[in-house]
Structure 1
């Protein structure tokens, strides 16, 4: 789940509930990254890696998924450097981005073809507010090297209406819009719903009212729609460009523990070699959260913690409600 502004993983999910070639400067083992821009890479066993070293371990992967913390400079710098390192080992590369919705693929293609300027593309393609700071380096590398760029996310309006109205909302879509979405938009992903609800703070029996349960279920269906759409777009890209490697950049919740879009990909194309890179970030007070689940063959990267967004709970609530109020202007008729 993702929003076009920097948020922690927990606040991103809480918002969804209301919305119905160069090496990185790595730190030695057991020491934090040196600056906000730095990362510390390691494999599943904790063995430190450089960016070129990681790229060499990903040579035979069909899909490389980088889970990110949206707006974290360290994450975005790592993405750009790993993109270049992977390209120099295998120039048959496809860039797929959660930050663009599939209904804006044509606008992204026009920009890559030199038919739109950047500001025009950002406006026409509804680019996230942090596009220039976070995703411009990836798109410009792809444009310079004539690489395909896939707008991988589900249309934001459809996602919000599923979050509001439920899975049946897809039945109301025009045929062309429905056909652009996955045939199976709400797949079963073992353990994913529990993690989603737990992160929302609704573990166990969840909301006590039927309306509350319905809203939570709709929110989860909207999350699944994002995941299944990103997986579907990756498979479409590989069908169009056989023997290419896909670099998929999405919020970490979509791939952590090989759930989300990774689990959907594995269900639909078990023959694919998919590798996941998961961020780990201590909280700002210096305490450590549990390490993310890293499967054998996958990787992690450590980041500086993001600053605390609000110290005043009332101000945080007011800011969130203002954003939700803007979202409620959307109609789903």
Structure 2
């Protein structure tokens, strides 16, 4: 697996955000890719940091911003200290660039409450924090159709009013992450990206937008799944990613 990942342009590690074993594995994959690729050939991308705090992420990984100030200003997730700080410290120690890729939450909330047209009048400085607009949304992607089934208020169509804006908000995040993944690596580099598994499972979401913007990129996906039995993959987890990491259902959670 590692040899294959080291040959990829982009590796999407689809995690369960509260799974400590997944976070440990992410750190080990980063260490192994750094060893296999060599200096200057690995970039780390993270859903957990939004584009407007990227200057703080860069300062922290460069060692010019103390951890205490970073935690106050960069809006890290509540489980940052246990689950993500070790990875950032590894990047800091080895000069690995770290890229926050996610769309700022207020913009996604505007879309969820209205529609993508809420972004039409954003000033240039705000638009620079997002994927290029206007955004093309493929409502037929299986992941988005599943969202329609969950949020459609009884309807299963991704074009149902309530579901459509939620899908558009998700697409804004997926497209923005894909755009900054694509623009933050140089030829020969591998970008290891951490995201919730629902953003990349079944090669949907981020993967679809990567293919839309750069169809020749070599992308590999990892998905962390939980199962009661570990001797074989559950039906729902077959083909969910290029590599599936199965965690026991009773594994401790960080929250």
Deviations 1:129-152 (A, max 9, x none): 111111112111111000110001
**1:187 aligns to what SS in structure 2?**
coil
**2:48 aligns to what SS in structure 1?**
strand
TM-score normalized by structure 1? 0.68
The answer to whether structure 1 residue 274 and structure 2 residue 219 are counterparts is: yes
From 154, 158, 161, the equivalent of 2:110 is 161
Q: For residues 242 and 140 of structure 1, what CA distance do their matches in structure 2 show?
A: 25
Q: CA deviation at 1:175?
A: 1.7
Does the 8 Å CA contact 2:200/2:221 hold for their aligned counterparts? Answer: yes
Does the 8 Å CA contact 2:5/2:11 hold for their aligned counterparts? Answer: yes
CA RMSD of aligned residues (A): 2.5
Q: For residues 81 and 123 of structure 2, what CA distance do their matches in structure 1 show?
A: 33
Structure 2 residues without counterparts, runs of 5 or longer:
none
Does the 8 Å CA contact 2:149/2:156 hold for their aligned counterparts? Answer: no
The aligned counterpart of 1:192 is 143
- Superposition map of 1:249-268 within 5 A: 249-268=194-213
Larger Rg: 1
From 33, 49, 58, the equivalent of 1:86 is 33
The aligned counterpart of 2:245 is 301
Q: CA deviation at 1:176?
A: 1.3
Q: Which moved more, 1:83-92 or 1:181-190?
A: 181-190
Q: For residues 258 and 203 of structure 1, what CA distance do their matches in structure 2 show?
A: 26
The aligned counterpart of 2:6 is 59
**1:75 aligns to what SS in structure 2?**
helix
Q: For residues 154 and 8 of structure 2, what CA distance do their matches in structure 1 show?
A: 35
TM-score normalized by structure 2? 0.88
Q: CA deviation at 1:105?
A: 0.2
Evaluate the alpha carbon distance shift between residue 306 and residue 129 of structure 1 in structure 2; reply closer, same or farther with a 3 A threshold: farther
Q: CA deviation at 1:205?
A: 3.7
Q: For residues 59 and 91 of structure 2, what CA distance do their matches in structure 1 show?
A: 14
